[in-house]
Chains A and B, each alone.
Chain A
Amino acid sequence: AQKVTQAQTEISVVEKEDVTLDCVYETRDTTYYLFWYKQPPSGELVFLIRRNSFDEQNEISGRYSWNFQKSTSSFNFTITASQVVDSAVYFCALSEAQGGSEKLVFGKGMKLTVNP
């Protein structure tokens, strides 16, 4: 069964600090995809990044970077030099290729507050 755990429920930082959001997942599938979404107060889920299970190369995209480690089933997300506009709830999600629908299984989310 698929499961995503975001152990942190809420983090508060001061602007320009770096912040890392943790995500641990469970799956029996060998082909799967991992995602991070952001949900600002307006409510719309915004896609941030995607990683497939065959590619453990970590990347940086602007102020975002991620650390995917299959050995520990973790997919952590880092925001560098945080800004007030980064304040939102962040969700980690997993989809399995097997089964066809590739439905997303979400963690409970982590509320990030960036204070000026």
Chain B
Amino acid sequence: DTGVSQDPRHKITKRGQNVTFRCDPISEHNRLYWYRQTLGQGPEFLTYFQNEAQLEKSRLLSDRFSAERPKGSFSTLEIQRTEQGDSAMYLCAAARGRQGAEAFFGQGTRLTVV
């Protein structure tokens, strides 16, 4: 158990619907990341929070994606007007603030857009 919880574990949605995922990291982990992983590939970085501030976003994060981390605790990732290409595993990771700290991953949310 890494201490990072993600909800839901699986989500099936129709194209065009909005979906929201939640990540609950360990409280001491002020760095929080979202990654996306498609079949047969390594995870790809989407966005980064330090406490409540969103400090970096990947070009992969289109306008339909938005992430928040209110109060620097849990985080949400919302995808609006889902497309079939959004089908993937969405992984949340958290790390302590010290440089080079390892990131601990949640079990992910598997999204299927039909």
Contact = CB atoms under 8 A, between A and B. Distances in A.
B40 A108 contact: yes
A47 B50 CA distance: 21
A93 B45 CA distance: 12
Interface residues of A, number: 27
Contact of A50 (B41, B42, B89, B102): B102
Interface string A46-89: 11001010000000000000000000000000000000000000
Interface residues of B, number: 29
Contacts, number: 70
What DSSP secondary structure best describes chain B's contact surface? strand
B91 interface: yes
A105 B45 contact: yes
Contact of B100 (A52, A91, A105): A52
B55 A45 contact: no
B74 interface: no
7 nearest CB pairs, A to B: A106-B42, A45-B105, A101-B48, A103-B45, A101-B56, A33-B100, A44-B107
